[in-house]
Structure 1
């Protein structure tokens, strides 16, 4: 079993990630922490206890230390855990910085369980492709291991019955709306019905990418708005 540390500042999302880990064969949750400092201390404590953390699911937007700084600190410990970065940041500079800090995989929020499972299964294949004992690797060993990390299932990008393109369009509309959008607003923005937009918005809320906010109009009728988590 691969020991996993979950690093996520939002308790609800952290619980969701923990439940996801429990659903993927070959992995177990070794701990859940909510800050970068606690992540570094948890990894050090696990090493001193003789039960090192092997994989860290690392939220990049932490409240105390940047996720990339945490990854850099973890790269200095022995044995060094592998890191899967979890972030809504899509800019090239952030992705390049993640690679430079030794991040093995980069998982974009929002994501369904299928995408999460796909990343963990790719990581498992990466581990299996490497020799069990310390030895000089051949080019074939290296290519096979890195090939496992880079292979992905395109069907994992959106839940069953949902279009990855529509999910991306609604996500983009929400990111561009600081005050959030209602289902009607989102539907008009991307050219789908209110009910269709609501389905996608609820999926994003379940995945922890957005939060629901209830607004009351002049007539007192409540309206749910969906706000992207910054």
Structure 2
């Protein structure tokens, strides 16, 4: 996904760049340090973007000013506001002008990742539903934006083991719990719990695999639309 980052703080721009690279699947096409530069970048064909990470307060204007200008020009790029401003009226106005998320500084990488992953899911669904959308399509798009996960794992799951299971699944390709578990020195049942969790948070897809005797097993495949954990 193509991203424009907007912030008057060079360190904030660097942090955005690092977090997007860590999340995977995002490419920064322009970095802007002010409101005027942001409006120009969003209007430039070469900087066509899917998402803007937009600061609210800048020396030459505000994120609200940017959104008013680009919306008036018909630019419909998705926007996540990233700011230390906590004024409720500002939040309301940003949302009214089309910001789909509002991330308050300072924030953790896990929180940042949850917001952009929710937007990525929304973007994928909106592209898939191009043309005439059904009510189900619309419901799924809005549900994606609300699907912000908490950083905590279910009881009994460990973050390090989850990362190892995810890494093996990405490397090995579609696999069952029986195939994954021996590679990690865990039981099949424990492996299945981690794979089920990855499927529940849409990092992996479940599907049936039929053996020679016709007995189905559940196999899991890494969702290529997502980045690493």
- The answer (yes or no) to whether the contact 1:58–1:86 under 8 Å persists in 2 is yes
Q: How does 1:177-188 map to 2 (within 5 A)?
A: none
Q: 1:4 corresponds to which residue?
A: 3
Q: How does 1:1-230 map to 2 (within 5 A)?
A: 2-45=1-44, 47=45, 49=46, 51-132=47-128, 134-155=130-151
Could you say what the CA RMSD is over the residues aligned between the two structures, in angstroms? Answer: 2.1
Offset at residue 130 of structure 1 (A): 2.0
- The answer (yes or no) to whether the contact 1:60–1:66 under 8 Å persists in 2 is yes
In the alignment, the residues of structure 1 paired with residue 105 and residue 142 of structure 2 have an alpha-carbon distance, to the nearest angstrom, of 23
Runs of 4+ in structure 1 displaced over 4 angstroms? none
Offset at residue 131 of structure 1 (A): 4.4
- The answer (yes or no) to whether the contact 2:3–2:26 under 8 Å persists in 1 is yes
Offset at residue 134 of structure 1 (A): 3.5
What TM-score comes out, normalization by structure 1 length?
0.62
Change (3 A) 1:9 1:55: same
| Stretch moving more, 147-156 or 31-40 | 147-156
- The answer (yes or no) to whether the contact 1:85–1:105 under 8 Å persists in 2 is yes
- The answer (yes or no) to whether the contact 2:129–2:137 under 8 Å persists in 1 is no
Secondary structure, counterpart of 2:29 in structure 1: strand
Q: How many residues align?
A: 154
- The answer (yes or no) to whether the contact 2:5–2:54 under 8 Å persists in 1 is yes
In the alignment, the residues of structure 2 paired with residue 71 and residue 39 of structure 1 have an alpha-carbon distance, to the nearest angstrom, of 10
- The answer (yes or no) to whether the contact 1:22–1:29 under 8 Å persists in 2 is no
Offset at residue 72 of structure 1 (A): 1.7
Structure showing greater radius of gyration is 2
